[in-house]
Amino acid sequence: MTKSRGHIIVEQWFKSKNWKWAAFQKEAAAAYLSGKSGLVNAPTGSGKTYSLWIPFLIRYINSLPKNPAKRSKGLQILWVTPLRALSKDLFRNMEAAALEMNLNLRIGVRSGDTSTKERASQKKQMPEALLITPESLHLLFAQKDSSETFKNLHTIVVDEWHELMGSKRGTQTELAIARLRTINPHLQTWGISATIGNLEEAKQVIVGMDSAEEDNVIIKSKTEKKILVESILPEKVETLPWAGYMGTKLVDYVVQIVQKSKTTLIFTNTRAQAEVWYRTVIEKYPEFAGIMALHHASLDREVRDWVEEALHDERLKLVICTASLDLGVDFRPVDTVIQVGSPKSIARFIQRAGRSGHRPGVASKIYFCPTNALELVEAVSLRDGVEKKMIEDRPPVIHAFDVLAQWMITLAVGGGFEEKQLFEEVRNCYGYQFINRQEWEWLLGYITTGSPSLEVYDEYKKVERIDGRYVVTSRRIAHRHMLSMGTIVSDTVLKVKFQHGKYIGSIEETFATRMKAGDTFYFGGMSLEFVRIHEMTVTVKKAEGKKGFLIRWAGSRMALSSQLSTFIRDRIDSAIENPLNEKELTKLKPLLELQRERSAIPKKTELLIEQCETREGHHIFVFPFEGRLVHEGMAIILAYRISKLSPITFSLAMNDYGFELLSDQYVDLEKVMKQTDLFSTAHLVDDIYQSVNATEMAKRKFREIAAIAGLMFQGYPGKFMKTKHIQASSSLLFTVMTKYENNNLLVNQAFQEVLTYQLEEVRMRRALDRIATQKIIIKITRKPTPFSFPIMVDRLREQLTSEKLEDRIQKMLKQYSDAD
Amino acid sequence: MQIEIRGNHFILLSQRAIFWEETQTLLIGDLHLGKITHFRKEGIAVPTIAADNNFERLNHLVQNTGASRIIFLGDLFHSDYNSEWDTFVTWRNKHHYIDMLIVMGNHDILPVSMFLEADLRVFINDFEEENFVFTHHPKVEPDPEKFVFAGHVHPVFTTYGKGRQSFRLPCFVVDPNQAILPSFGVFTGGFQMDLADRRNIFITTETKVFRVG
């Protein structure tokens, strides 16, 4: 077979660069050029971009007519990326290849940052290739001529698909792909993904439900990256606290490693933690000033850009960052990565390890810095997980009716839609494959007349049905809808700026409104004095040397993944014997022995329960080692089942190892377990719903759903609208809809999300099934144990009660008079 | 719960109001009417059912106490005019036989004429009667010869119990020369109060008032 023109040019190009066309890249090219869709599974820095960009160029070259004037114009390929920041790097690489092959091919970038001028020029003539975020892609569909824009589009590539798929942004992407497939039935859809547990599913989502088996494929890169994991251990285990998650006690050990390396990234799990680490390092090692930087999502885009550039140019020795640097540009100079605190998932740990040793053939090395003593067990388990390549799944979001409602309104704002045709199209999406006519009709009703209890209000009527098409005619509604599109619903944030006008970043309203003039706080590695708050801006000035508050950011703590928790249960079982002689466990031995002395160390076949009495009341600790989400659900279930027997009030707390039920009354567990099956999976969902807590949780979830579905307007940009008001009104809406409507899909979705994501129902069932086979050991302890102490000191608590409010107050007030 | 102040008898009601028995007067603080409609105009979706709740509670109070006079301790209306004011006027006309007074609060930015038209007696600062002073802002140093009733701060109190239990509830604060009423309106925040010497705090649920300490 003779080689095509495209092939020849590409091969020459590879030769001129002195690069090798890697096997998986060739494989991907062959699949792409034969018209297939699918998934490329390759790690960052392995040339994954070129695996699909090069074949696109071949196709492009081959399609060029002899006469340049006859060239067909318009958009041919969409490249979806989760982060605006990524598009810069991608753009550079893609453009370089096209230029070096002498191609007159335009590549555009479209995101929230794209200037109005650039937008206008794109509107006049779309480039052949467009890099875009899911949000911006949806916005293109809100334009009247969208089907014209996409008529020549033949390829869509979704980069970092593993990142997008598990979120509602993934659902957004799916819906857009389905529409593009309608416009061009021969559309080729490709995803690029790092390794995840459910690659096959990831492919299915990207190619849609109608794709035939032989039309799609998974291409795996063979480049195996070796990952070395080493724990940072203190001389004495006592240096590590029993509880806590800051980890700054080990700062000296960490700095030693930093000093030996060229460039180090320190990953923390929260923004607050990153700020603390930055401050600790600079206070103890002032020589780091100027060669150390901070990077997290609340810092201003410009600040972050500067840090990324400086990293690239080898101007920094140390960057302390959060998940904000998980993705993104390759930082070749980075040779060391340190993870502070458990990353809670093996996949995340590997991803971060991959930020170092970017050259092919070089092993990635990651240091693990524990923040409390028990994390040493996690360290060993993480190493196990990495070795055995037990990577977690990223389950796609299913039945997100809020996103669908938003999409329907978006299309109605654009050219409008025909409902039967759209229904079929939506059913081709993995996330909506089971949607039925009844649900669809509810949604049509919702966007046209508002939900039943809101029907009287004009504000909620959005879409009209005209000549069989669903359209939005009001410009005001269209405008409001465009402003509130997207699936990321965050707390209201206020900009932080200096008096002279320079922006530093943003903080949440809840934190900002607690501050008064003269207060100081740490942010962006600086000590800042609060001057005033006006409209959406907090003005500050530098405050030298004063002690300050630590900013709090909302955001939940990550929970231990199912894979990792399995390893941990195994490790705990044999931790004292330590058959593999792991040095982390040797260090931990004194603590484990204390645990055994005061209570017990559970075998894999056992479930440990501790009971003890302190000044606070009567504690029950249960240790299933299943992660905090599952524990939250179990705590609710247990508390509810016990409280059904007699009036009692519990306060609940949990961590990744276990959970606590605290009460002012003693509970005789042996007796309770004879009366009722505490750990039964029967009536599980009913019992969860019966407890008030589930309703409260659903109410909180509903806020996001209501905002995405367009029930609540989040305000015009720059106009201050307090989160408190939005929250209050979303909870009112929830209450009214639950009370006056039987089958509100959005309310149902809120409950479903609580079950699926907040309480991990599936995993909880599996855990309960496991517990049913385990022997339950109840230990009465005189003092808190190494296992129970971290839970006991947790301040984040929920309540569950079967007592009457008035009775509880009476009881409580009695203590006041007793004290007199 | 009945308490005695300067020889007069006052009932602290779980509806978050005070009934002065000797003069058959209801004292009501911080209603913040119009707040909900104000939200809606700002694009925040609040079903009006929440607004109706205020009037239900007012009706209930009037019927149960048989009051012949109501003193509003300021912040009757939350913002500038919206349709909820008309609802209030309708309610007021239905109870034309009750004498109603208002001492103005910082939120009462509606023109005085509107209050007058609604047949309210308006006092820009304080209203005094028999050594009792009715006002919006609590006095920093109340005159010991007199006794002040005020609103404005929306007091709440948190009680703690064993097993890490706690409640944050609206409260009445009764000092030797001054009493502060909880906010009557739903949807209003709260200011945390502490116990102090010679101070009595009464917390209230929806059905019962309790004395603290």
> Where are chain B's structural domains?
2-153+172-187
Does pLDDT of B121 surpass 60? yes
Q: Which residues of A touch B189 (CB under 8 A)?
A: 724
SS3 label, residue A317:
coil
Q: Which residues of B touch A662 (CB under 8 A)?
A: 163-164
CB–CB of B212 and A454 under 8 A?
Answer: no
Closest CA to B76 of B113, B125, B31: B31
Closest CA to A482 of A401, A402, A411, A400: A411
Give dist(CA B61, CA B100) in Å, integer.
14
Report the range of poorest mean pLDDT among A266-270, A425-429, A690-694, B64-68.
A690-694
Domains parsed from chain A with CATH numbers: 5-220 (3.40.50.300), 227-388 (3.40.50.300), 493-550 (no CATH)
Measured between CA atoms, how close is B60 to chain A, in angstroms?
A: 21
Residue of A nearest to B204 (CA): A806
Going by pLDDT thresholds of 50, 70 and 90, the confidence category of residue A727 is low
Which DSSP helix (H) or strand (E) runs through A202?
A: helix A199-207
Give dist(CA A725, CA B36) in Å, integer.
10
Give dist(CA A428, CA A207) in Å, integer.
9
Give dist(CA B152, CA A296) in Å, integer.
41
CB–CB of B40 and A459 under 8 A?
Answer: yes
CB–CB of A617 and B207 under 8 A?
Answer: no
Assigned token pair, A403: 């996103």
Mean predicted lDDT score pLDDT of chain A: 88
Closest CA to A155 of A44, A30, A9, A35: A35
Most confident by average pLDDT, A63-67, A403-407, A696-700: A403-407
Assigned token pair, A367: 């240091």
B154-173: b or e for each residue (b if 16 or more CB lie within 10 Å)?
Answer: bbbbebebbbbbebebbbbb
Assigned token pair, A678: 């505490």
Residue of B nearest to A648 (CA): B163
CB–CB of A816 and B165 under 8 A?
Answer: no
Closest CA to B66 of B31, B95, B33: B95
Which residue is listed with tokens 């075998």? A603
SS3 label, residue B162:
coil
Which of A667, A813, A814 is most worth mutating to test chain B (most B CB atoms within 10 A of its CB)?
A813
Give dist(CA A304, CA A307) in Å, integer.
5
pLDDT in tens, A625-661: 999 999 999 999 999 999 999 999 999 999 999 999 9
Does pLDDT of A277 surpass 80? yes
Give dist(CA A68, CA A57) in Å, integer.
17
* Arithmetic mean of pLDDT, A561-572: 91
Q: Which residues of A touch B186 (CB under 8 A)?
A: none
Going by pLDDT thresholds of 50, 70 and 90, the confidence category of residue A508 is confident
Chain A contacts to B (CB-CB under 8 A): 453-454, 457, 459-460, 480, 616-618, 649-651, 662-665, 706, 711-713, 715, 721, 724-726, 728-730, 732-733, 736, 797, 799, 805-806, 808-813, 815-817, 820
CB–CB of A736 and B47 under 8 A?
Answer: yes
Strand partners, A339: A267, A368
Give dist(CA A237, CA A372) in Å, integer.
9
Which DSSP helix (H) or strand (E) runs through A638?
A: helix A628-645
Q: Which residue has the higher pLDDT, A64 or A489?
A: A64
Under 8 Å CB-to-CB from A439, ≥6 apart: which residues? Answer: A401, A745
**Amino acid (1-letter code) at residue A315:** R
Which of B14, B35, B49, B165 is most worth mutating to test chain A (most A CB atoms within 10 A of its CB)?
B165
Assigned token pair, A374: 């028990």
Under 8 Å CB-to-CB from A287, ≥6 apart: which residues? Answer: none
pLDDT in tens, A700-710: 889 889 889 98
CATH topology of domain B2-153+172-187: Purple Acid Phosphatase; chain A, domain 2 (3.60.21)
Going by pLDDT thresholds of 50, 70 and 90, the confidence category of residue A361 is low
Under 8 Å CB-to-CB from B95, ≥6 apart: which residues? Answer: B62
A621-656: b or e for each residue (b if 16 or more CB lie within 10 Å)?
Answer: bbbbbbbbbbbbbbbbbbbbbbbeeeebbbbbbbbb
pLDDT in tens, B65-81: 999 999 999 999 987 88
* Arithmetic mean of pLDDT, A45-67: 89
Strand partners, A662: A619, A651
Q: Which of residues 141-200 of B touch A (CB under 8 A)?
A: 159-165, 167, 169, 187, 189
pLDDT at A181: 95
pLDDT at A596: 94
SS3 label, residue A547:
coil
pLDDT at A121: 86
Going by pLDDT thresholds of 50, 70 and 90, the confidence category of residue B56 is confident
Q: Which residue has the higher pLDDT, A349 or A730?
A: A349
CB–CB of B161 and A732 under 8 A?
Answer: no
pLDDT at A203: 96
Does pLDDT of A718 surpass 60? no
Does pLDDT of B182 surpass 90? yes
Going by pLDDT thresholds of 50, 70 and 90, the confidence category of residue A820 is very low
Q: Which residue has the higher pLDDT, A123 or A208?
A: A208
pLDDT at B83: 81
Please tell me which of the candidates A617, A721, A806 has its beta carbon nearest to residue B205: A806
Give dist(CA A334, CA A349) in Å, integer.
16
% of chain A exceeding 70 in pLDDT: 92
pLDDT in tens, A240-256: 888 877 888 899 999 99
Going by pLDDT thresholds of 50, 70 and 90, the confidence category of residue A326 is confident
Q: Which residues of A touch B39 (CB under 8 A)?
A: 725, 729
Which of B32, B36, B44 is most worth mutating to test chain A (most A CB atoms within 10 A of its CB)?
B44
CB–CB of A713 and B39 under 8 A?
Answer: no
Going by pLDDT thresholds of 50, 70 and 90, the confidence category of residue A444 is very high
ipTM (interface predicted TM): 0.77
Give dist(CA A145, CA A122) in Å, integer.
13
Q: Which residues of A touch B203 (CB under 8 A)?
A: 809
Residue of B nearest to A819 (CA): B213
Taking each helix axis from N to C terminus, what angle separates A437-449 and A745-753, rounded to the nearest 10 degrees? 120
Q: Does B83 touch chain A (CB under 8 A)?
A: no
Which of B1, B41, B160, B162 is most worth mutating to test chain A (most A CB atoms within 10 A of its CB)?
B162
Q: Does B63 touch chain A (CB under 8 A)?
A: no
Going by pLDDT thresholds of 50, 70 and 90, the confidence category of residue A805 is confident
Measured between CA atoms, how close is B44 to chain A, in angstroms?
A: 6
Most confident by average pLDDT, A71-75, A529-533, B45-49: A529-533
* Arithmetic mean of pLDDT, A747-764: 91
Measured between CA atoms, how close is B213 to chain A, in angstroms?
A: 5
* Arithmetic mean of pLDDT, A758-764: 90
Per the CB < 8 A criterion, the answer to whether B71 and B122 are in contact is no
Assigned token pair, A88: 């810069």
Report the range of poorest mean pLDDT among A226-235, A603-612, A718-727.
A718-727
Q: Which residues of B touch A811 (CB under 8 A)?
A: 161
Which residue is listed with tokens 């081709």? A428
Per the CB < 8 A criterion, the answer to whether B163 and B149 are in contact is no
CB–CB of B164 and A733 under 8 A?
Answer: no
- How do B99-103 and A520-523 pair as beta strands? unpaired
Residue of B nearest to A720 (CA): B42
Q: Which residue has the higher pLDDT, A159 or A484?
A: A159
Closest CA to A304 of A321, A289, A291, A287: A321
Give dist(CA A503, CA A514) in Å, integer.
21
What are the φ and ψ backbone dihedral angles of A43, each rounded to 5 degrees? -75, 165
Going by pLDDT thresholds of 50, 70 and 90, the confidence category of residue A536 is confident
Q: Which residues of A touch B185 (CB under 8 A)?
A: none
- How do B17-20 and B8-13 pair as beta strands? antiparallel
